[in-house]
């Protein structure tokens, strides 16, 4: 049990110290307390503490000076990609332009029942299933994507093309016009395969997004399950206070090419 918990403790300390550096609570040049003091503060072993410090050193946020101590080296945190929730389709296009991709798997499968239902597929229908990792310009992986596309659409592109071309571009080349998307967001923990792909500890917190894209005729053309590293990716939504006095509420602001604000639904427990 302890062996399984220790990586999570190290991850927690890493995130806490990283936040202190990013907020300025620990300024550039500040010397950290000694390892025994920090280990006592966080209630962990020195080995667990050192694991967290090692990662901050690797990210160049801390520097060790032999015989002197550990110092804050830089407060600028790694670049995070931003996604606009109010314009899903354009965000998909921009993501393809700004980031790189590595294809992990490509196959035709019978999808799970939930995905088949979301795509409104008949019984026994297959999908083209792919797993990809997207990364920033510096090569840092930030998302793990599992996509299902109806077989007749997936047959219009090859494995080699998907390895080099954004999926939305391939769908549009096949004649599909992406018109709208429904998506839900939540949080989850990284399993072994995803943790390896995103270079995080098993059990690390991730942002989870499920999106179903529809064409102009309302047909579902893609089911996407995406997992994001929250330290390298974040969602943004600009809100506008609207409505009559006494009944005002927050509404998503319209994108420049929209005449009405995008709809935002909330699921209540």
Q: pLDDT by residue (tens digit) across 120-142?
A: 999 999 999 999 999 887 788 98
- 64 token code pair: 């060790």
Predicted confidence at residue 233, as pLDDT, reads 77
Give DSSP secondary structure letters for 140-187. -EEEEEEEEEEHHHHTTS-HHHHTTS-HHHHHHHTT--EEEEEEEEEE
For the chain, give every residue range classified as CATH 3.40.1410.10. Answer: 81-252
Average pLDDT over residues 235-239: 70
Q: Residue 47: is its pLDDT beyond 80?
A: yes
**CA pair distance 102, 139, nearest whole angstrom:** 11
3-7, 54-58, 61-65, 78-82: which has the minimum mean pLDDT? 78-82
Q: Which residue has the tokens 């029942």?
A: 113
Q: State residue 88's pLDDT score.
A: 47
Please tell me the distance from the alpha carbon of residue 144 to that of residue 131, in angstroms, as a whole number. Answer: 7
The class that CATH gives domain 81-252 is alpha beta
Q: Do the Cβ atoms of 151 and 176 come closer than 8 Å?
A: no
Task: Name residues whose C-beta falls within 8 Å of residue 219's C-beta, 6 or more positions apart in sequence.
Answer: 120
Confidence (pLDDT) at 202: 83
Residue found by looking up tokens 């995070």 in the block: 80
User: Residue 264: pLDDT above 70?
Assistant: no
CATH (one of 1.10.10.10, 1.10.150.120, 3.30.43.10, 3.30.70.270) for 2-72? 1.10.10.10
Confidence at residue 256, expressed as pLDDT on a 0 to 100 scale: 52
Mean pLDDT of 51-62: 90
Per-residue CA distances from 20 to 2, 14, 30, 81, 200 (Å): 27, 10, 11, 21, 20
Higher pLDDT, residue 223 or 97: 223
Per-residue pLDDT tens for 68-123?
Answer: 999 998 755 555 555 544 444 555 555 555 678 899 999 999 999 999 999 999 99
Q: Range(s) for CATH 1.10.10.10 in the chain? A: 2-72
Q: What pLDDT score was predicted for residue 96?
A: 55
Task: Give the pLDDT confidence of 5-38 residue by residue, as tens digits.
Answer: 677 888 889 888 888 887 778 888 999 999 999 9
Question: What is the value of pTM for the model shown?
Answer: 0.67
Nearby residues of 269 by Cβ (< 8 Å), 6 or more positions away: none
């Amino acid at each position: 049990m302890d062996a399984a918990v220790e990586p999570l403790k190290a991850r927690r300390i890493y995130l806490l110290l990283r936040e202190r550096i990013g907020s300025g609570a620990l300024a550039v040049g500040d010397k950290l307390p000694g390892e025994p003091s920090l280990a006592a503060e966080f209630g962990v072993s020195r080995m667990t503490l050192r694991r967290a410090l090692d990662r901050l050193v690797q990210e160049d946020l801390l520097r060790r000076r032999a015989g002197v101590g550990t110092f804050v080296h830089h407060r600028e945190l790694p670049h995070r990609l931003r996604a606009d929730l109010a314009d899903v389709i354009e965000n998909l296009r921009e993501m393809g332009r700004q980031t790189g991709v590595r294809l992990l798997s490509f196959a035709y499968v019978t999808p799970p029942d939930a995905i088949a239902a979301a795509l409104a597929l008949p019984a026994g229908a297959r999908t083209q299933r792919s797993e990809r990792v997207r990364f920033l310009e510096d090569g840092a992986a930030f998302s793990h994507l599992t996509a299902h596309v109806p077989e007749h659409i997936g047959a219009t592109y090859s494995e080699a093309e998907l390895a080099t071309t954004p999926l939305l571009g391939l769908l549009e080349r096949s004649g599909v016009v992406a018109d709208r998307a429904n998506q839900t967001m939540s949080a989850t923990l990284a399993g072994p395969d995803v943790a390896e792909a995103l270079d995080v500890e098993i059990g690390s917190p991730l942002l989870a997004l499920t999106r179903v894209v529809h064409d102009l005729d309302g047909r579902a053309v893609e089911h996407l399950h995406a997992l994001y590293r929250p330290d390298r990716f974040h969602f943004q939504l600009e809100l506008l206070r609207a409505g009559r006095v006494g009944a005002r509420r927050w509404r998503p602001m319209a994108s420049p090419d929209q005449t009405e604000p995008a709809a935002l639904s909330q699921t209540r427990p």
